[in-house]
Amino acid sequence: MYPGKQSQKTGRFFFALVFGALLFLPCSSSTASENGPLSTSDIASSPKVINIVLSEWSVVPDRTSIQAGQISFSVRNKGPVDRHEFVVFKTDLAPDALPSDSEGVDERGIGLTLIGEIEGISVGAAPQTVSFELTPGNYVLLCNIWDANEKESHYHEGMRVQFTVTQSGAGIS
């Protein structure tokens, strides 16, 4: 093999590798500014969405922490039977230790700050979205429906999960 042949092959391989990698990079974004690509401040201020699936008997977010800011929750009810609601509390209490009685969580209970909710989410309905400005801290996401006919509290059946909001610049999972 001639000395120049190996470097030509290596150069072509490197070019093909770089070109191939570029094919997998995202194209322009509708959130990019007209003056060029997204800056760090654009990314920090873009909306953050958490997808939530409600079902008997769970609340499942697609991640359990996010950086502080405007957070949107896209919530759908996978069923199979019951209507659910989605409630966000800021609290340092464990998800299973919220002030409650047999019918569910006392939404005005000590140690809870009610952030907001979506009520009456039907099985199979299109996802409903709600947004809140969340500050760093611990949160609990839950369903607080009491079914008088079946004498069941969705919260007590296990429909609750811990959620953490971190400082801007901290990691997310």
In this prediction, residue 19 has a pLDDT band, given cuts at 50, 70 and 90, of very low
b/e burial code for range 125-138 (CB count within 10 A of at least 16 → b): eeebebebebeeeb
Report pLDDT for 20.
43
- Is the pTM here over 0.75, yes or no? no
Q: What is the Rg, in whole angstroms, of the alpha carbon atoms belonging to the chain?
A: 23
Token pair belonging to 145: 């429906």
| C-alpha distance across the termini of the chain, in Å | 50
Give the model confidence (pLDDT) of 163-172 as tens digits: 999 997 655 5
Pick the CATH number of 46-166 from 2.60.40.420, 3.40.50.300, 1.20.140.10, 3.30.160.340: 2.60.40.420
Report pLDDT for 37.
41
Q: Calculate the alpha carbon distances from 144 to 73, 102, 118, 127, 159 in Å.
A: 17, 11, 11, 18, 8
Report pLDDT for 168.
78
Give the model confidence (pLDDT) of 108-145 as tens digits: 999 999 999 999 999 999 999 999 999 999 999 999 99
The mean pLDDT of 73-95, rounded to a whole number, is 97
In this prediction, residue 51 has a pLDDT band, given cuts at 50, 70 and 90, of very high
